[in-house]
Amino acid sequence: MEKDAKIYVAGHRGMVGSAIVRKLQSEGFENLLFRTSSELDLRNQAAVEDFFQTEKPDYVVLAAAKVGGIVANNTYRAEFLYDNLLIEAHIIHNAYVTGVKKLLFLGSSCIYPKLAPQPLKEEYLLSGFLEPTNEPYAIAKITGIKLCEAYRSQYGCNFISAMPTNLYGPNDNYDLQGSHVLPALIRKFHEAKVNSQPFVEVWGTGTPRREFLHADDLADACFFLMQNYDEALFVNVGTGEDVTIRELVEQVQQVVGYEGEIRWNTDRPDGTPRKLMDVSRLHDMGWKHTTELKDGLERTYQDFLANVELYVE
């Protein structure tokens, strides 16, 4: 990418988008294009068309999405499917219409079948049934991948896709009804510590295994792919390492400094038994994560403390 190129980062205020903005700025890219959701409703076809026709960005990073944890995904099934379909369809189509040089679409590891072999290889897509609780979101993200593939095949567009594993870091969502497991744990343990609560309830059995990637590492991988990758097949982005939810809970408890009891509510769902990404393709290209989970958790908790009034309304 040229240093003076106009780069549109969709979703720039979210955890992923803001990390990508920080990375681009650190690399000397200043001609960055943003719109908040109140300024541009990405679900509005005419508004997105007008934006692209007016601004004509050279490059696009599509990090905008409606996201959430198990409860949010399972409760707002129609919104997770409808909103995400509209967002990606409008941006990808108008990137083609206005001649965007390259677009990066960001998906999610939940695109893979619930019982796919581990670790998850890119070719396992559409090889089995999805996890029911987040099926609408997964279908939307699969559609985004297929849109990029179709516009590449039919029109020759250089549209690529990356599938991140579970993410954490600055600007995460700490709402207990809508957040993912890691930010929810940070908030739960922090509030239990501050309020001297005798125990913290954690959902499930603690046996599922999950992989976690710091948002700044994802941003670094996205920058790497924008500079070096031009192929149709999407790319897994992760650490290639996982931990049990129980191990994660104990690490968060330690980082926060909570000394009470942990109670496991086994009436609550576990979700997918394991979701470990096979990141050998990305490693073979020359990219690897640099933030280990313990260091990342400590940095994330310090960010939470510094912005607790912003994160917890």
Catalytically annotated residues: 137
Q: Is 205 annotated as a binding residue?
A: no
Q: Is 208 annotated as a binding residue?
A: no
Q: Is 204 annotated as a binding residue?
A: no
The kind and range of the H/E element at 294 are helix 293-306
Q: Is 146 annotated as a binding residue?
A: no
Q: Is 188 annotated as a binding residue?
A: yes
Q: Which residues, including other chains, have CB under 8 Å from residue 63's CB and lie 6 or more apart? A: 9, 10, 11, 12, 14, 16, 17, 20, 106
Q: Is 270 annotated as a binding residue?
A: yes
Q: Is 203 annotated as a binding residue?
A: yes
Q: Is 13 annotated as a binding residue?
A: yes
The Cα–Cα gap between 18 and 74 comes to 26
Q: Is 106 annotated as a binding residue?
A: yes
Q: Is 127 annotated as a binding residue?
A: no
Q: Is 169 annotated as a binding residue?
A: no
CB-based contacts of 255-259 (< 8 A; 24+ apart in sequence): 255/294, 255/297, 255/298, 255/301, 256/186, 256/189, 256/190, 256/193, 256/301, 257/193, 258/189, 258/190, 258/192, 258/193, 258/200, 259/193
CB-based contacts of 16-19 (< 8 A; 24+ apart in sequence): 16/63, 16/106, 16/164, 16/167, 16/215, 16/218, 16/219, 17/61, 17/63, 17/64, 18/170, 18/171, 18/215, 19/169, 19/170, 19/171, 19/215, 19/216, 19/218, 19/219
Q: Is 109 annotated as a binding residue?
A: yes
Q: Is 287 annotated as a binding residue?
A: no
Q: Is 16 annotated as a binding residue?
A: yes
Rg value, the chain, Cα = 19
Q: Is 107 annotated as a binding residue?
A: yes
Per DSSP (E only), the strands in 24-141 are: 32-33, 59-62, 102-106
The Cα–Cα gap between 164 and 108 comes to 5
Q: Is 196 annotated as a binding residue?
A: no
Q: Is 37 annotated as a binding residue?
A: no
Beta bridge partners of 167: 213
The Cα–Cα gap between 25 and 107 comes to 23
* Sequence ranges of the binding site: 11-17, 106-109, 141, 164-167, 180, 188, 203, 210, 270
* Sequence ranges of the binding site for NADP(+): 11-17, 106-109, 141, 164-167, 180
* Sequence ranges of the binding site for substrate: 188, 203, 210, 270
